[in-house]
Amino acid sequence: MAVLLRIPKTSIKSFSSCISRNFSVTTLNSEIDLKVPSFLSQNSLPRRQETKDGNVQWVFLGCPGVGKGTYASRLSTFLGVPHIATGDLVREELNSSGPLASQLKETVNQGKLVSDEIIISLLSKRLEAGEVKGESGFILDGFPRTIRQAEILEGVTDIDLVVNLKLRKEALLAKCLGRRICVECGRNYNVACIDIKGDNGNPGIYMDPLPAPPQCVTKLIQRADDTEEVVKERLRIYNEMSQPVEEFYRSRGKLLEFDLPGGIPESWPKLLEALNLDHEDKCSAVA
């Protein structure tokens, strides 16, 4: 499937003005910086001529645990653009002594979704930091999550493509419950071996575990919110909220639906094919 591009708007609204019109931020601590990076508020964003020039502006959607971070990170390396995951931003804030840490801890442990105001605040700070480093383009993972967020993002910059990753519910649940994190290096692994037989017209799916290297095995932990009850509630809430966002981008001709056929070995080359990307010369970059 060809990647659809759209010529950026001739006049881009500033991120901060969009937030002030659409959100009440009075509940946020005054220390949170809502300043917008200049590359998102400039009057004219350059037209991206080719996918490989490092200036893609893509979004990855999908249920929690589907693998957005895995595939967005691989594409980030493949294309040379930053991978910005709102889930990581939330976890970094949770592990800090920042003003939102206690509020976020309660929300995450209950399996609830973090508010738009907080997500946009964290994303704004991350984009500002990226601008200082000279970053260009991005792959957003976990944002936008609501119509309000999608509308604000559209008012700020043009998104080239939205990839919606899909996976059978049984596989999703098993993946989430099998997820483990190394407390030392922060990398994600998975102890689940998923083998679901095909039925009722649905193809079977097999996914190998993602084992940790020897140095990480004794340091693995399970996230506090990766319990069956919390995971099911998280998936229910996501499914309720995701339909309008998917339709938002589908109506604009930007949504690419991609059903994961299995684990990374099966899914990665098929995803690159769906994105019209030649992976032959870059396999080593994402191995």
Active site residue 179: yes
Give the CA dihedral 207, 280, 286, 131, nearest 10 degrees: -130
Residue 226 in contact with residue 220, Cβ under 8 Å?
A: no
Cα 9 from Cα 254, distance rounded (Å):
16
Q: State residue 54's pLDDT score.
A: 56
Question: Quick check: is 37 in a domain?
Answer: no
In a domain, 112, yes or no: no
Active site residue 145: yes
CA pair distance 101, 89, nearest whole angstrom: 11
User: What is the tally of structural domains in the chain?
Assistant: 1
Read off the pTM.
0.72
Per-residue pLDDT of the chain (287 residues; tens, 9 = 90+): 433 333 343 333 344 444 445 444 333 333 333 333 433 433 222 333 344 445 799 999 999 889 898 999 999 999 999 999 988 888 888 888 777 887 888 887 777 778 888 888 888 888 888 878 888 889 999 899 889 899 988 887 789 999 999 998 899 999 999 999 999 998 889 999 999 888 877 788 999 999 999 999 999 999 888 899 999 998 898 888 888 999 999 999 999 999 999 999 999 999 999 999 976 544 444 44
* Strand-strand pairing, 179-182 and 220-221: antiparallel
Among the options 9, 168, 223, 250, which is catalytic? Answer: 223
Longest dimension (CA), the chain: 54
Catalytic residue (choose from 48, 125, 179, 254):
179
Residue 280 forms part of a structural domain: no
Residue 16 buriedness (CB in 10 A; 0-12 / 13-18 / 19+) = middle
Contact present, 141 and 85 (Cβ < 8 Å): yes
Considering only CA atoms, which of 246, 245, 266 is closest in space to residue 146? 245
The reply to whether 244 falls in a domain is yes
Closest-CA residue to 207 (of 187, 236, 179, 235): 179
Q: Which domain holds residue 174?
A: 56-82+135-275
Q: Reading across the β-sheet that carries 161-166, which strands appear in turn? A: 83-85, 138-141, 57-61, 161-166, 255-259
The string over 240-277, giving b where at least 16 C-beta atoms fall within 10 Å of a residue's C-beta and e elsewhere, is eebeebeebbeeeebbbebebebbbeebbeebbebbeb
Q: What is the Cα–Cα distance from 71 to 9, expressed in whole angstroms?
A: 29
Residue 217 lies in a domain: yes
The answer to whether position 33 is within a domain reads: no
Tell me if 95 sits within 8 A of 88, measured CB to CB: no
CA distance 239 to 172: 13
74 is catalytic: no
**176: domain CATH number?**
3.40.50.300
With respect to residue 34, please indicate whether it lies within any of the assigned structural domains: no
Q: What is the model's pLDDT at position 280?
A: 56
Catalytic residue (choose from 145, 175, 180, 254): 145
| Sign of the CA dihedral with 232 first, then 238, 241, and 247 last | negative
Residue with tokens 């001739």: 10
Candidate list 68, 74, 175, 180, residue with the active-site label: 68
Whether 122 maps to a domain, the answer reads: no
